[in-house]
Structure 1
Amino acid sequence: MIGFAQVYGTPFIDAATTPITPPGVPASPMTGFAQQAEKEKAGMSGTVMSGFRPDAVPVYRELVKEFAVCDRWFASNPASTQPNRLFVHSTTSHGLVSNDTKVLVAGLPQRTIFDALHDEGFVSFGIYFQYLPSTLFYRNLRQLKYAGSFHAFDLDFRRHCQEGKLPIYEVYEALRSRPQWEETLLVVTYDEHGGFYNHVPTPAGADVVPSPDGIVSAAPFFFGFDRLDVRVPALLVSPWIEPGIVLHRPSGPYPTLEFEHSSIPATVKKLFNLRSFLTKRDT
């Protein structure tokens, strides 16, 4: 797990396998980014230790000024792209810690927030995609009953916005009869940090980061999913948000709570008063 080498540095840079909770290392010192980058490719350390000036990313600059940015939104686990995306939809990767094609093609068995919405019977949803939607890595979402919920982004998203037909619209229109923009929250985030340096230690420990479902990853890592990964960008865009808001931690009810990808389905559950939780992460 490359992310582990980045946050802990020596002596884990050259380890073929790494216990996810190394003895005698109480906190992640965030010291291995340059080392790990140089191991991958000579000269890459300069890239991973760099950043962008605001004028180089004008869209992000304006969104941060006009809406909200989270400065403690962590990737859900120190792994690659798909294991983190899975937390966005189901608050667990079901033990997956890599982009294992065989596992993804076979399909993962866990329930998703979309299943929870469907089972309530009154909340519709839409999945808009530009390439193969990663939500098809869940076996449940391959069922015929969900076929009408998938939409090609380039063909349908703008048209649905113009026509007021985004799935959430019907629920809110019936309740409040307001324009759809006023009932929309756009969340912009990244699945994982891409190897770029970050100075904030990653939260760890079962008392801070609960294992979603008690599943431990396969050899050689045996990861218990009891820690988060490096922070990632997260922007919240809504007409209800005052300009220039910076969100740190969630407001409660527990002092150890952090924003991570499971925060998205947890928020959907709270907004629509869904009856069941997916895992301990959204609980």
Structure 2
Amino acid sequence: MQFKSLVYLAAVAAAAPNLHRPGSPESIKNLKDKIKNVVIMVMENRSFDNLMGGQTLAGLENPIQTGPYCNPLNISNPGTGTGCTEALDFDSIINDPDHSISGNNLEFYGSFTPDNAAIKAGTLQPDMSGFLTEQIRLYGKKADEQVLQTQVINYYTETQVPVITALTQNFVVFNHWHSDVPGPTNPNRVALCSGTSAGKGKNNFQYNTMTQRSIFQEVTELGLEWKDYLVDTSIQDARWFTWTYESNNTDRIVFMDEFYEDARQGTLPHLAYINPSCCGVGTNSMHPTGRVSDGEQLIKDVYEALRGSPQWHETLWIVTFDETGGFHDHVPPPRVARPDNATHSETTPTGADYTFAFDRLGGRMPTWLVSPWAAPAVEQKGVDACGRTVSYHATSILRTLGYLWGFAPYNPRVKGAPSFDHLIGTELRTDVPDKFPTVSHFPPQQDLQTVVQSRAREWHFHIYFLLQSPTEKAAALALRDAVLRLRRDGKYNDRVFFFFENLPLTTQRRFCCGSAAPSQRVSHRTASCWIIRDVLIHPLTTLQRRDHEFRNGWLGKPWPIYLGGLPIESAEVPLQYPELRLGWSTAPEDELSLDERRKKGAELEALLAGDPEAAPAPAN
């Protein structure tokens, strides 16, 4: 029986499982009776082994339970060594792994151009051995190989991702859920909403270009309501489809503050689709270089909004990802029915041409079902309409929503997808948590050489202000010198810009502490400084606030500061601004002496002596 694919948690007062066959009349009736509102949130670029690798819940297949798993550093030369799965010690990474179709080919099959005929015949199987090879190929000239291998193959522990752990332990988690396209973000998001990427295999197409039927059109024509809720404007999945524009439904695309208000008032639509912000520093989709902890905060906020909503008792929340983002997973993706006759061709990094027929899935990624009707469980593989045991994938959502709202599968891919209607139970749970745990923030890196040479930064801030008088300029320069003294004394490990923009007094000025190595591109400079610790930002105008909060060029909320109130000369950063928390806190028993700190500071000054942009510390 299909319900044996579940691993239920013992000693939990959970909802009674639905023992009906997936897609059966009894299961569909139960689904319709229990669920009136569906919330779908699609996060970004994390594989199962990466995000779930440290989860100890029985039934999960991951590095901590069934590993470790290893990859050669160079698949063409195994003698160069291997890297194996271990726990991570950082929140996110700078070097975004390859998640193109060609990159996935190398990561899965060890070749940019695997033999499609052999794959179709079943004589060529993915061995999932090329992740380190591809990461080192992409970034080996810029970073240490050991750093690169830890970035792509290591995993998060339960305590590092407490919100993910709470999701996993309290609701349904899928052990075998794959993306629909072994490629990048946009084709996968389109496929999740419509069952096909219509031959798109790259992120090289625009909004208002996809002509196929989507879930947004379907829901509207069924007389149901939907909204696409945005954290910012970086991802707007409803906009991919021409129907959204032609039917004048772009006004259903709104910002997240409306989601929280709708949840509070009990007015969420039948379909609430959530787009996180993407894709880097300060965003919350979990896409590198964005922090996993910021994504956890979004998940926590959405859960608690739904849990406190009057609609909670009739809601199903699906938390999933678009694709694996090039992060290692050891489970080979299976072959699957083609959605249509479209193909995608691209030139690989070796110059060869490769054509993909959309006949196999992408990597395995985390997905959960959250509902008071969903018992805590590990769901293994599903059952398709023909009774075959198959892996779940993104279009399983469309297959299940088709049962809920009564619409036919859009194409063979959707028709062959296993549904999860049977995971909705028959009794309302009373044991679900009201809140999720507090997000865990990774500690700052404190090794001096690592901080300076590996682009991991302790903290970083920009100060934006309007120069209205020479006094304010002098105060800003004094603040910079105070930070330089901290560096000299070993309390601050980073580079401080030498320059100070000398523009007309009525023009915005920028004083910038901290950055990356001078050889880095600007994009790396704006990315590398925030991987470890929060950024403090100090804009004054509405435009500057919008730039920081909605364009996602920076991290953190603005913190206004009046520089005119700072003393022009001070041995330390003024105590009247303790909220700036410059440097990091140290337990008294671990505090270094002044001589020890100055020794470290001298080492740092020596490391930066050849940097033409780095300001030297004041002599006194």
Q: Same fold (TM over 0.5)?
A: yes
- The alignment status of 1:248 with 2:350, answered yes or no, reads no
Residue 314 of structure 2 corresponds to residue 183 of structure 1: yes
1:58-117: CA deviation from partner (whole Å, max 9, x where unpaired):
0000111111110100011111011111111001000000100xx224611111011112
Provide structure 2 residue ranges, at least 5 long, that are not aligned to the other structure: 1-101, 272-308, 347-352, 416-620
Amino acid at match of 1:280: P
Give the drift of 1:230. Answer: 0.8
Out of 316, 321, 324, the position equivalent to 1:193 is 324
Matched ranges for 1:124-203 at <5 A? 124-132=225-233, 133-153=236-256, 155-168=257-270, 179-203=310-334
What is the alpha-carbon root mean square deviation over aligned residues?
Answer: 2.0
Q: How does the TM-score come out when normalised to structure 2?
A: 0.40
* Structure 2 counterparts to residues 27-46 of structure 1, below 5 A: 27-42=125-140, 43=145, 44-46=148-150
Q: C-alpha offsets along residues 205-241 of structure 1, whole Å, 9 cap, x if unaligned? A: xxxx111011111344321100001101111111111
Query: Equivalent residue of 1:268, what SS?
Result: helix
Check the 8 A contact 2:382/2:389 in 1, yes or no. Answer: no
- Are the counterparts in 1 of residues 334 and 361 from structure 2 also a CA contact under 8 Å? yes
* Structure 2 partner of 1:236: 369
| Greater radius of gyration (CA) | 2
The corresponding residue for 1:94 is 198
- Contact 1:88–1:265 (Cα < 8 Å) also in 2: yes
Residue 190 of structure 2 contacts residue 196 of structure 2 at CA under 8 Å; is this kept in 1? Answer: yes
Aligned equivalents of 1:41 and 1:81: distance in 2? 21
Output the amino acid matched with 2:363.
V
What is the CA distance between 1:19 and its match in structure 2?
Answer: 5.0
CA contact (8 A) 1:19 1:223 kept: no
Identify the match of residue 111 of structure 1 among 213, 233, 246: 213
Partner residue in 2 for 1:218: 345
2:174–2:366 CA contact under 8 A, matched in 1 = yes
Residues 78, 228 of structure 1: 8 Å contact kept: yes
Partner of 2:393: 260
**Corresponding letter in the other structure for 2:312:** W
Identity of aligned residues (%): 29
Per-residue deviation at 1:192?
1.0
In structure 2, C-alpha distance between the alignment counterparts of 1:23 and 1:249, rounded to whole Å: 25
- Higher RCO (CA < 8 A, seq sep 6+): 1
Tell me whether 65-74 or 122-131 shows the greater mean CA deviation.
Answer: 122-131
String of CA shifts for 1:168-219, please: whole Å, max 9, x gaps. Answer: 29xxxxxxxx941111111111111122211111102xxxx11101111134
- Write the distance in 2 (CA, Å) between the matches of 1:146 and 1:263: 25
Q: 1:281 aligns with which of 402, 413, 417?
A: 413
Contact kept, 8 Å, 1:20 with 1:223, in 2: the verdict is no
Shift in CA distance, 256/96, structure 1 to aligned 2, threshold 3 Å: farther
Match of residue 23, structure 1, among 111, 115, 118: 118
Q: Which moved more, 1:104-113 or 1:186-195?
A: 104-113
1:128 Cα deviation (Å)? 0.9
Summarize deviations over 1:109-168 as a string: whole Å, max 9, x none. 111011112222x22212111223132121111234313422211x20010011111112
Contact kept? 1:78, 1:230, Cα under 8 Å: yes
Runs of 4+ in 1 over 6 A off after TM superposition: none
Mapped partners of 1:117, 1:271: distance in 2: 11
- After TM superposition, give the deviation of residue 52 of structure 1 in Å: 0.8
For 2:28, the equivalent position in structure 1 comes to none
Q: Which residue of 2 aligns with 1:172?
A: none
How far apart are the structure 1 equivalents of 2:162 and 2:334?
A: 31
Match of 1:167, SS state, is: coil
The residue identity in structure 2 corresponding to 1:21 is: N
Tell whether 2:179 aligns with 1:84.
Answer: no
Distance in 2 of aligned mates of 1:140 and 1:59: 36
C-alpha distance in 2 between matches for 1:279 and 1:223: 18
- Correspondence 1:68 to 2:172: yes
AA of the residue aligned to 1:104: Q
Report if the CA contact (8 A) 2:216-2:238 is conserved.
Answer: no
The code of the aligned residue for 1:225 comes to F
Query: What runs of 5+ residues in structure 1 fail to find an aligned partner?
Result: 170-177
State the match for 1:175 in structure 2.
Answer: none
8 Å contact from structure 1 (residues 74, 259) kept in 2: yes
* C-alpha separation in 2, matches of 1:62 and 1:106: 38
Measure the CA separation in 1 of the matches of 2:316 and 2:240.
25
TM-score, scaled to structure 1: 0.85
1:252 positional shift: 3.6
Contact 1:113 1:278 in 2 (8 A): no
